C-alpha cells in the first residue's frame, strides 16, 4: 500500500531537543532519573526466558474484554516513565500523533488510526505489568545486545543472557537475514498490541499498519541502524514506512498544546468502526 502524496512536514519543532537521554550524574533532575531507572530495570531483566514467560501471561488474552476506544481511554491514567519528552497522560500523545498524520496524509485513514492506537498496548501497566516491561525502546533478545541501545554501556551488566555464549554472540539463536518476524523482541507495548490485533478476526488494518505497530519502538534499528543483519527484504522495505511514522510519533510530543479529545472523538470512533470493530480480548 503506498501513501498518497505527503504534504511536507512543517510543524516540527526544531528548537526542542527530543530523546535527550542524559548521562546520570549525582545532580540529576527527577525525569532523567525516572527514565534511566526504567531502562536499568528493563535491561537487567529482559532476557529470553523472561520474554517467553510474558508470552505465557499475555498471549492468553484473558485480562479484559473491551473495544479499542475503551482501551485508548485508559491511556488517560498512564504517564510513560521511559519518556523524557512526555510528562502528561499518554492519551494526549495518541491524538497528537494521529492528528499530525491526518494533516499530512489526509486520504490514508488507516495511517491516522495507527497514529491513534500505536501505544494502546501500554494498558498492560494497568493490569500489573511493570513499566519497564511495557514502555520504552525495544531490542532483540537471544543475540548480542547492540551498543545502539539507549544507556547500554551501563545497564546490561546484570542481564542473565550476557553470560550465555550463544545469546551473546552476534547472531545468537538466529540466522543471517532471518527476518524480524522470526526474532524475539524484548516484551513491551508494541508486540502486545500487535498480537491483540492479530487475534481479533474483525481487524482489517493493512499489513503496513501491523508492521508499524510491532516495530515502532525498535529505535536501535529504525533510527540507529543496528541489527540490519537480522533483516530480510520485507523488513528493509518496511523500514522507510516505520521511519516516516517515527517522525510523527516523536516530533509531535507537546505537553502544553493538548488536543481537545471530545472534539476529535467522533472521527476516530468511526475509523475504529471501519477497521477494528467489536470487543477485543486483551
Ligand X SMILES: O[C@H]1[C@H](O)[C@@H](O)[C@H](O)[C@@H](O)[C@H]1O
**Residue among 152 and 168 whose Cβ is closer to ligand X:** 152
Using CB under 6 A as the binding rule, whether residue 115 contacts ligand X is answered as: no
**Residue among 119 and 235 whose Cβ is closer to Fe ion:** 119
Name the DSSP class of 126. G
Q: What does 81 interact with, of Fe ion, ligand X, none (CB < 5 to 8 A by kind)?
A: none
Question: CB under 6 A: which stretch of 44-52, 56-64, 80-88, 225-233 binds ligand X?
Answer: 80-88
The contacts of residue 84 (CB under 8 Å, 6+ apart) are 19, 20, 21, 22, 31, 32, 35
Distance CA 134, CA 58 (A): 12
Question: CB under 6 A: which stretch of 22-30, 50-58, 133-141, 163-171 binds ligand X?
Answer: 133-141
Residues that bind Fe ion (CB under 5 A): 119, 217, 249
CB of 232 to Fe ion, least distance (A): 23
Burial class (CB in 10 A: 0-12, 13-18, 19+), 70: middle
Cβ–Cβ < 8 Å for 123, 78: yes
Q: What does 246 interact with, of Fe ion, ligand X, none (CB < 5 to 8 A by kind)?
A: none
Using CB under 6 A as the binding rule, whether residue 217 contacts ligand X is answered as: yes
Using CB under 6 A as the binding rule, whether residue 80 contacts ligand X is answered as: yes
The contacts of residue 204 (CB under 8 Å, 6+ apart) are 274, 275, 276
Of these, 200, 216, 222, 244, which contacts ligand X (CB under 6 A)?
216
Cβ–Cβ < 8 Å for 225, 135: no
Cβ–Cβ < 8 Å for 157, 43: no
Helix (H) / strand (E) element for 65: namely: strand 65-66
Using CB under 6 A as the binding rule, whether residue 135 contacts ligand X is answered as: yes
Question: Does residue 80 have a known ligand-binding role?
Answer: yes
Q: Can you give 79-124 as a three-state secondary structure string?
A: CCCCCCCCCCCHHHHHHHHHHHHHHHCCCCHHHHHHHHHCCHHHHH
Question: Does residue 82 have a known ligand-binding role?
Answer: yes
Question: Does residue 217 have a known ligand-binding role?
Answer: yes
Using CB under 6 A as the binding rule, whether residue 219 contacts ligand X is answered as: yes
CB of 248 to ligand X, least distance (A): 12
Size of site (CB under 6 A) for ligand X: 10
**Residue among 7 and 33 whose Cβ is closer to ligand X:** 33
Using CB under 6 A as the binding rule, whether residue 129 contacts ligand X is answered as: no
Question: Does residue 19 have a known ligand-binding role?
Answer: yes
Burial class (CB in 10 A: 0-12, 13-18, 19+), 267: middle
**Of 52, 49, 235, 216, which Cα lies nearest the Cα of 136?**
216
Using CB under 6 A as the binding rule, whether residue 137 contacts ligand X is answered as: yes
Question: Which positions lie near ligand X, rule CB under 6 A?
Answer: 80, 82-83, 119, 135-137, 216-217, 219
Binding region for Fe cation: 93, 118-119, 189, 216, 249
Binding region for substrate: 19, 80-82, 122, 136-137, 216-217
Amino acid at each position: 500500500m503506498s501513501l498518497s502524496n505527503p504534504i511536507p512536514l512543517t510543524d516540527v519543532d526544531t528548537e526542542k531537543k527530543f530523546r535527550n537521554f542524559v548521562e546520570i550524574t549525582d545532580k540529576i533532575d527527577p525525569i532523567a532519573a525516572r527514565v534511566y531507572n526504567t531502562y536499568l530495570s528493563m535491561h537487567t531483566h529482559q532476557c529470553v526466558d523472561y520474554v517467553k514467560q510474558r508470552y505465557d501471561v499475555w498471549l492468553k488474552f484473558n485480562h479484559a474484554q473491551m473495544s479499542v476506544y475503551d482501551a485508548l481511554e485508559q491511556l488517560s491514567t498512564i504517564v510513560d516513565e521511559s519518556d523524557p519528552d512526555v510528562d502528561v497522560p499518554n492519551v494526549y500523545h495518541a491524538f497528537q500523533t494521529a492528528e499530525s498524520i491526518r494533516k499530512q496524509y489526509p486520504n490514508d485513514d488507516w495511517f491516522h488510526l495507527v497514529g491513534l492506537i500505536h501505544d494502546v498496548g501500554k494498558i498492560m501497566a494497568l493490569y500489573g505489568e511493570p513499566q519497564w516491561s511495557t514502555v520504552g525502546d525495544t531490542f532483540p533478545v537471544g543475540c548480542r545486545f547492540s551498543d545502539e541501545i539507549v544507556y547500554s554501556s551501563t545497564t546490561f551488566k546484570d542481564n542473565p543472557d550476557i553470560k550465555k555464549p550463544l545469546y551473546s554472540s552476534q547472531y545468537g539463536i538466529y540466522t543471517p537475514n532471518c527476518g524480524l518476524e522470526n526474532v524475539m523482541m524484548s516484551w513491551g507495548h508494541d508486540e502486545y498490541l500487535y498480537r491483540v490485533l492479530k487475534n481479533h478476526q474483525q481487524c482489517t488494518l493493512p499489513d503496513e499498519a501491523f508492521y508499524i505497530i510491532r516495530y515502532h519502538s525498535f529505535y536501535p534499528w529504525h533510527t540507529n541502524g543496528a541489527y540490519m543483519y537480522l533483516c530480510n527484504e520485507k523488513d528493509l522495505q518496511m523500514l522507510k514506512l516505520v521511519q516516516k511514522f517515527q517522525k510523527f510519533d516523536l516530533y509531535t510530543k507537546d505537553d502544553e498544546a493538548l488536543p481537545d479529545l471530545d472534539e476529535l472523538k467522533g472521527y476516530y470512533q468511526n475509523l475504529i468502526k471501519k477497521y477494528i470493530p467489536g470487543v477485543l480480548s486483551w
